[in-house]
């Protein structure tokens, strides 16, 4: 069953029933040639051409609804972050570098900004933002602020683990609010990590660091690669299991 919630000129909101669960979907009409569906921050996002209408032969909405149901039935954990607490005033984040409380202030401004001071993450948001706008935008801002705040300390941890076990050469470290992976290693030796790792236990974060460092030597997931990982962390499979079980809860 589908429930139409409300509509603006170019945005329509639906609820997709999957068993006892209700999955939010947002349909965006845009100037584009094709349509695209993806898991967003708080809903399934479907982007369709602005000129599409129900009389056309292909129905992207019907396809997206079926895609959502199939995806949820096979991998329900991918939808867990839809139902997490949104970033609200007073929320607390436990990170590998300490605990931080969130302070949200509405102000007469057009964009959101923030900074960390004395253990508090201070955010200032446009006064006309509703709860939905905050839920869609603030996690990305919080991620960016933490990435800046934690960069040097995280880089020190990478350097320490590399020096202790490998002494491999890498070029740089960066962060993204990745949802599809925990880290990556480019052919040039650039290491990228998901900011979601800041919310994981230290041993789990160490595993991901070791995993990406191992890719500096072995660029696939062959037995040789896992032997490189195992050399530094013999019990790495425990951390893999933890991520599979709890990773879907690590969101801002």
Does the pLDDT value for residue 6 go beyond 50?
no
Of the candidates 29, 40, 68, 15, the one whose C-alpha atom is nearest the C-alpha of residue 136 is: 40
Three-class DSSP category at 214: helix
The superfamily (CATH) of domain 92-249 is Metalloproteases ("zincins"), catalytic domain (3.30.2010.10)
Domain extents for the chain?
2-83, 92-249
Instruction: Report how far residue 124's alpha carbon sits from residue 104's, in angstroms, rounded to the nearest whole number.
Output: 6
Structure confidence by residue, pLDDT tens digits, 225-246: 999 999 999 999 999 999 998 9
Mean pLDDT calculated for residue range 132-145:
88
**Per-chain mean pLDDT for the chain:** 89
């Amino acid at each position: 069953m589908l429930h139409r919630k409300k509509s603006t000129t170019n945005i329509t909101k639906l609820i997709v029933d999957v068993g006892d669960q209700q999955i939010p979907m947002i349909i965006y009409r845009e100037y584009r040639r094709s349509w695209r569906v993806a898991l967003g921050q708080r809903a399934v996002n479907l982007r369709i051409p602005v000129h599409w209408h129900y009389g056309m032969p292909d129905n992207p909405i019907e396809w997206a609804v079926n895609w959502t149901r199939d995806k949820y039935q096979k991998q329900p954990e991918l939808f867990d972050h839809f139902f997490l607490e949104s970033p609200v005033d007073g929320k607390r984040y436990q990170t590998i570098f300490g605990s931080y409380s969130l302070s949200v202030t509405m102000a007469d401004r057009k964009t959101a900004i923030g900074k960390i001071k004395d253990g508090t993450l201070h955010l200032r948001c446009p006064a006309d933002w509703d709860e939905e706008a905050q839920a869609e935008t603030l996690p990305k801002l919080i991620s960016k602020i933490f990435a800046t705040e934690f960069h040097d300390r995280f880089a020190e941890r990478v350097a320490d683990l590399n020096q202790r076990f490998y002494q491999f050469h890498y070029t740089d470290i960066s962060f993204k609010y990745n949802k599809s992976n925990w880290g990556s290693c480019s052919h040039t030796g650039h290491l990228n990590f998901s900011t979601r790792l800041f919310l994981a236990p230290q041993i789990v974060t160490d595993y991901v660091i070791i995993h990406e460092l191992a890719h500096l030597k072995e660029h696939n997931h062959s037995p040789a690669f896992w032997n490189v990982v195992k050399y530094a962390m013999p019990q790495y499979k425990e951390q893999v299991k933890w991520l599979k079980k709890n990773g879907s809860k690590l969101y801002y």
